[in-house]
């Protein structure tokens, strides 16, 4: 495998992990919001922006 192929493979793995971490943060946020957690608290524990948490809450309530 060439160095470029190895680098591309590693970058693909990193991107996949980042996407997985983001999806997990959304899952935790949804669960916390459904349990009645405050949006600021959810943003703090998940690392997601407050605006995203507010949107998720609005979606869950509609």
What's the pTM?
0.80
Q: Does the pLDDT of residue 53 top 90, yes or no?
A: yes
Provide the token pair at 39.
């949006």
Domain extent for 49: 3-61
Mean local confidence (pLDDT), 32-59: 97
Total of domains in the chain: 1
CA atoms within 13 A on the CB side of 46: 28
pLDDT tens readout for residues 22-39: 999 999 999 999 999 999
**Burial of 31 per CB tally in 10 Å (0-12, 13-18, 19+):** exposed
pLDDT, residue 37, reads 97
| Residue 18 tokens, joined | 């980042």
């Amino acid at each position: 495998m060439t160095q470029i192929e190895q680098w591309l493979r590693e970058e693909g793995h990193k991107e996949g992990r980042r996407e997985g971490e983001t999806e997990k943060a959304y899952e935790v946020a949804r669960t916390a919001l459904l349990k009645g957690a405050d949006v600021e608290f959810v943003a703090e524990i998940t690392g997601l922006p407050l605006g995203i948490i507010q949107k998720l809450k609005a979606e869950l309530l509609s």
